[in-house]
């Protein structure tokens, strides 16, 4: 099954969320009104606007850090040892990333605060739901968490994936425990705020205690060669960044669309199902994501046969688990409605759930293909990617406005499974042929 420790902790984190989900769902159904549930899940949809502001940085940092880390290692005392020039370039990458994220954080906080405020204040249930103070707090705390992103990302690029995912597993457990205490105590929409505080505490401890010497080294001023952002990084980053700007429209915009064009109750049903599917997506994506540092190193060493062997094996396993888990969840959703469970009305009916589940499976396959290309420090087919994301967003918006949550789900399935996946599979094969042809390699 190719489950190393990094994959184990990634799956454990998502698996915990998947297993803890029914408990959280039961508590939400017992203590939240349907309207509060709608606000609860739509909060997450608006916070996801941070995808706009990542600008391709996460993938860029991982790939460039992995290439430099091939000449470095973590010493027994937690410091960095190895090639001084590689450390200098890694330091320049980290410092530039922190500066950029700090600048963007302020804009992010204001954007999600204002967008959410406008959206929620126009809802018919706005006066009956206490959402204003929790929303302000969540916007600020989410922006702070965003500003810390480069620290965890650079650790992944420096082959510390196992420890990063271990921390995320602990964070997930503590976050759920905090939620389970907060909901019965009447926290209502303060619940996601409390969960975010737990997340920040875990991340700050992880950064400033076990990895303090690591970050002391990469935070110091470079004493040798540096990465030139305009020459070395920007040609790769701007493609990923532009694609990321538009990817929000093809996925994360769905919950706000349901909230605006249908109602808070439907948004709550959608949000619950979407959260479960995202947990499945994250767990299955770990089979390839946790190998990104290794894949980048293999590309740098031109060990392409080993790269393909690893990629085909782990991607097949990840997709197989994704399909099996999605089918299980769809059957569970169908059973709730078939047996007239009182909790069925807190979830979507089976048809939109099926569409979302298999649309998400197609998205998983496309992400694998994208990660493979990014390991080569390439992000081709920008115009095609933007066109696909824009078309997906417009169709989701159009059908969502006319047909509500069912229109959103069918549009998501139609674009991902019937149009985007076949197109991206063709382009992925084309990329491989052209890349290896340019190298004059037969290792295809």
- pLDDT tens digits along 320-335: 999 999 999 999 999 9
More confident call, 18 vs 411: 411
The answer to whether 400 touches 407, Cβ cutoff 8 Å, is yes
What is the average pLDDT across 350-364?
Answer: 95
Tell me how far the alpha carbon of residue 378 is from its chain's centroid: 20
pLDDT for the residue 175: 93
What is the average pLDDT across 105-115?
Answer: 92
The highest-confidence range among 149-163, 273-287, 349-363, by mean pLDDT, is 349-363
The answer to whether 257 touches 270, Cβ cutoff 8 Å, is no
Instruction: Say yes or no to pLDDT of 376 above 70.
Output: yes
Instruction: Say yes or no to pLDDT of 59 above 80.
Output: no
pLDDT for the residue 112: 92
Instruction: Say yes or no to pLDDT of 111 above 60.
Output: yes
Cα–Cα distances in angstroms (integers) from residue 128 to residues 34, 123, 124, 132, 273, in the given order: 12, 10, 9, 11, 25
The highest-confidence range among 5-9, 29-33, 231-235, 355-359, by mean pLDDT, is 355-359
pLDDT digits (tens, 9 = 90+) for 160-174: 888 898 898 899 899
pLDDT digits (tens, 9 = 90+) for 214-226: 999 999 888 888 8
* Closest CA relative to residue 5, chosen from 207, 122, 160: 160
Distance CA 134, CA 32 (A): 15
Sort 61 into a burial class: Cβ within 10 Å, 0-12 / 13-18 / 19+. buried
pLDDT-derived band at 83 (thresholds 50, 70, 90) equals confident
The helix/strand/coil state of 148 is coil
- CA angle 4/281/2 to nearest 5° reads 20
Instruction: Say yes or no to pLDDT of 413 above 50.
Output: yes
**% the chain with pLDDT above 90:** 37
pLDDT-derived band at 67 (thresholds 50, 70, 90) equals confident
Domain boundaries in the chain? 5-439
**DSSP at 415:** I
* Average pLDDT for the chain: 85
Instruction: Say yes or no to pLDDT of 392 above 70.
Output: yes
More confident call, 279 vs 180: 180
Contacts of residue 348, Cβ cutoff 8 Å, sequence gap at least 6:
269, 270, 272, 273, 333, 356, 405, 409
Distance CA 147, CA 100 (A): 9
**pTM summary value:** 0.72
Instruction: Say yes or no to pLDDT of 294 above 90.
Output: no
């Amino acid at each position: 099954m190719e489950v190393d420790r990094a994959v184990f902790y990634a799956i454990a984190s998502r698996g915990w969320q998947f297993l803890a989900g029914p408990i959280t769902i039961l508590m939400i159904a017992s203590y939240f009104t349907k309207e509060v549930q709608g606000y609860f899940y739509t909060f997450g949809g608006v916070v996801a606007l941070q995808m706009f502001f990542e600008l391709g940085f996460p993938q860029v940092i991982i790939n460039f850090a992995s290439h430099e880390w091939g000449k470095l290692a973590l010493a027994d005392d937690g410091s960095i040892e190895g090639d001084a020039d590689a450390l200098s370039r890694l330091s320049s990458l980290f410092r530039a990333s922190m500066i950029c994220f700090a600048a963007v954080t302020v804009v992010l906080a204001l954007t999600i605060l204002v967008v959410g405020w406008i959206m929620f204040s126009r809802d018919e249930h706005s006066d009956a739901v206490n959402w204003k103070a929790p929303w302000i707090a969540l916007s600020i705390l989410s922006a702070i968490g965003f500003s810390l992103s480069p620290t965890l990302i650079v650790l992944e690029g420096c082959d510390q994936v196992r420890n990063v995912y271990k921390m995320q597993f602990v964070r997930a457990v503590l976050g759920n425990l905090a939620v389970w205490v907060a909901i019965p105590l009447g926290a209502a929409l303060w619940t996601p705020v409390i969960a975010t505080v737990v997340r920040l505490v875990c991340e700050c401890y992880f950064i400033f205690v076990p990895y303090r010497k690591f970050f002391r080294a990469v935070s110091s001023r470079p004493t040798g060669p540096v990465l030139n952002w305009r020459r070395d990084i920007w040609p790769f980053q701007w493609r990923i960044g532009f694609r990321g700007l538009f990817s929000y429209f093809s996925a994360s915009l769905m919950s706000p669309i349901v909230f605006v064009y249908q109602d808070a109750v439907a948004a709550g049903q959608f949000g619950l199902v979407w959260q479960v599917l995202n947990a499945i997506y994250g767990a299955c994506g770990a089979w390839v994501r946790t190998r990104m540092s290794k894949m980048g190193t293999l590309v740098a060493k031109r060990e392409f046969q080993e790269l393909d062997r690893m990629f085909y094996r782990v991607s097949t396993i990840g997709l197989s688990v994704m399909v099996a888990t999605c089918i299980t969840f769809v059957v569970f959703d169908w059973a709730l409605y078939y047996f007239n469970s009182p909790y069925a009305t807190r979830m979507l009916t089976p048809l939109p759930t099926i569409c979302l589940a298999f649309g998400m499976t197609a998205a998983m396959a496309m992400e694998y293909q994208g990660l493979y290309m990014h390991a080569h420090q390439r992000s081709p087919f920008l115009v095609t990617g933007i066109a696909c994301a824009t078309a997906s967003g417009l169709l989701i918006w159009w059908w969502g406005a006319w047909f509500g949550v069912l229109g959103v789900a069918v549009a998501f399935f139609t674009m991902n499974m019937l149009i985007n996946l076949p197109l991206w599979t063709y382009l992925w094969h084309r990329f491989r042929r052209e890349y290896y042809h340019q190298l004059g390699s037969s290792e295809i």
